[in-house]
Amino acid sequence: MKRALVTGGSGGIGAAICRRLAADSCHVYVHANRNLARASALADEIRAAGGAAEAVSFDVTDVAACRATLEALVESEPIQILVNNAGIHDDAVFPGMRAEQWHRVLDVSLNGFFNVTQPLTLPMIRSRWGRIVNITSVAGLTGNRGQANYAAAKGALHAATKSLSLELASRGVTVNAVAPGVIRTAMSDGVFDDASIAALVPMKRAGQPEDVASAVAFLASDQASYISGQVLSVNGGMI
């Protein structure tokens, strides 16, 4: 049974990814930061349905906490599937963006990728099979008004995805990104009304967290063993 860590498993998209990987027979670590109770409830739900799951919590911006928790987790066995999904946005038009807004969004979404991925990489390499999937955003491909910080973090993740994929290609480890468009979760609620979704999305509807989870599950599977360094958009045809 492969062990999978999904950061931000307490959130909307992360929860769908956890359920899907558990249904695909992975032992899933459902990660949370502040909402550990939500991650624990999801792990309970997965176990009740016959799957394998545990909740873990740490702040992805805390280098020492990431290292301590993750090194302990891989002491006996590697985590072979890592989904870097934890992320935040804090939007403001650029002239009014506070330095804290800029730094915080990059710290969670970009530095969090480094803090979580690095301690897991060598054990994954040694096992000669691994999947790293980074959840980015259409904003990282096209940019978005009011999201210079968020788009910078997600665009940088695309570049990191491609670079790391080159380093790990010969080791049986693939590194890809899934770039969602508008997906119905707490993060997007209140940001987009139905009219703006209809204007933005050719399919005229928001996606569901399960749409993202399907793409992640594919990239995490054996079927995707020859796919690395790619950005797979899940956005109803936006770009």
Interface pick for ligand NDP out of 5, 13, 120, 217 (rule CB under 6 A): 13
| Choices 21-29, 44-52, 59-67, 122-130; region in contact with ligand NDP by CB under 6 A | 59-67
38, 55 Cβ separation under 8 angstroms: no
CA distance 66 to 69: 5
Which residues 68-127 are close enough to bind ligand NDP by CB under 6 A?
85-88, 108
Q: Decide if residue 10 touches ligand NDP (CB under 6 A).
A: yes
Q: Decide if residue 35 touches ligand NDP (CB under 6 A).
A: yes
Nearer to ligand NDP, 24 or 90 (CB): 90
The residues pairing with 173 across neighbouring beta strands, listed in sequence order, are: 130
Cβ atoms < 10 Å from Cβ of 64: 9
Q: Decide if residue 188 touches ligand NDP (CB under 6 A).
A: yes
Q: Decide if residue 180 touches ligand NDP (CB under 6 A).
A: yes
| Choices 26-34, 68-76, 121-129, 222-230; region in contact with ligand NDP by CB under 6 A | 26-34
Nearer to ligand NDP, 85 or 149 (CB): 85
Given the rule CB under 6 A, which residues bind ligand NDP?
7-8, 10-14, 32-35, 59-61, 85-88, 108, 135, 137, 180, 182-183, 185-188
